[in-house]
Structure formats: structure tokens, C-alpha cells
Amino acid sequence: MTQQESEKTVPTMPVIGQTAPAFKAQSTQGPINFPDDFSGKWVVLFSHPSDFTPVCTSEFISFAAWDEKYREADCQLIGLSVDGISSHIAWLRTIKEKIQFNGHKNMDVKLPLIDDLSMEVAKKYGMIMPGESTTKAVRAVFFIDPKATIRAIIYYPLSLGRNFEELYRVLLALKTADEFGIATPADWHPGDAVIVPAVNTSKAANERMENKMEGAVCYDWFFCLKNLEKDTVYKKILKK
């Protein structure tokens, strides 16, 4: 394989901190002009390999079940696969009329599902990975903030269904970090202690070690935690 041929097989992928690629597309909820249609909102853009497949079916029942929670967090879910509108509509009708999963049935999928037969959007977002498939998108997830900046990216292979509690946790953690100017530690959930941002001077480090930072516990100058109540978090990041 020549270098030129090799380069053609490598997907181009957006990165964290980059402006999310713009696109126009048709969806099951009408035309989409991204990001203009979602100005001021968070967006979770995700892809799935194909309609009428079992793992994707289980995921869309889960997305439908979680959709209201994302709306409360002022976040729009947008799905995509390299199938057409007719296929999407038929599949979503089948899900509602016939499929049960994890105690959910008669699920009405109201989030927009993009028609991307041309693979134009999927290629812009690096969702087509030749090592997995050249004709299907992997299970990509992009967390995009109100300024259309990509804030987090998660990729899964075709065979692995996503963890929906984790996807929602990521959204809440990103919004909490923005609202309160903190970072979130491993396994964080709303109500858990958060990390106070690191300092960049020796004086500030010494003050931390002398316990001069009110409301925080410092185990060393670089590792300080403080409490952030669940109700305080939810009042800021959820529309309730």
C-alpha cells in the first residue's frame, strides 16, 4: 500500500477544544442546520452503525428513556447513522410497536435521527473507521457545549453497547465544572466532593498546606477537595 492509499484509510477526527464541524442534514424531526439551530444549548451528537440491528435497538430504547433528563439539562440528543429517513422511520416505528428492553416498551423516540446516506457528516466527525467497517459508523459520542465547542469524545466499537449512566454523568460533570469553576474526581456524581483547581505559585501552595483555604480539605498542595451539595449542583445545571 502506498503512503497516499494509506492516508485515505485514516479517518479525520475532530478533537476536544475544536469547534464542532458544521453541517446541514435531514432528520426524522425535520431539517437540521448545525450548530445554528442549537445556539445556546448543549448537544450530544452520537452515531450508531445501522438501523434494524440488535445492539442499536437496545441503545435507542435507552436514549428514548433518557431523553427527558437531557432536556432538563438543556441538552439536545441528536442521532446519526448512514441510513436513510425511510429506514429510520420504519425502525423507530418497530421499536415503539414491538420491542421491549430493560423494562421499557412502547418507547417513542422523539430525538432527531439524521439521514447520512452520503456519509458526509459521519466522515466530518471521524465516525467511519475502516478497521471496524467502511460502510457503518462506529458508536461515537460528541459532547458539544453552547458555543459549539467539542468538550468530550467517546468512541465504542460496533459490538459494544454504551453505558447510559456514564454518558449522562459526563454531561453533568462538564456542566458542573463550567458553572462552579472546579474539576471532578474519579467516579464523581452530583453531591460528591469536587476538586479545587490547582495553584501556580509557591505562596498559594504554602497557604493551602497551612489550611488557609476556607471550605476545603487539602491533602497536599495539589490535591484539595471541597463539598458541593447535590441540590446546589442541580439548581444550576438543570431546568427544574
Residues noted as catalytic: 56
How far is CA 8 from its chain centroid? 27
Distances (CA, A) of 47 to 178, 182, 200, 201: 26, 30, 40, 44
C-alpha cell belonging to residue 58: 437496545
Distance CA 162, CA 62 (A): 9
DSSP secondary structure of 84-118: -HHHHHHHHHHHHHH-EETTEES----S-EEE-TT
Helix (H, G, I), strand (E, B) or coil at 237: helix
Helix residue ranges per DSSP H, 3-131: 3-8, 54-72, 85-98, 120-124
C-alpha cell belonging to residue 144: 458539544
Distance CA 79, CA 142 (A): 11
Q: Find the length of the chain.
A: 240
Strands 42-47 and 75-81: parallel
Distance CA 199, CA 232 (A): 25
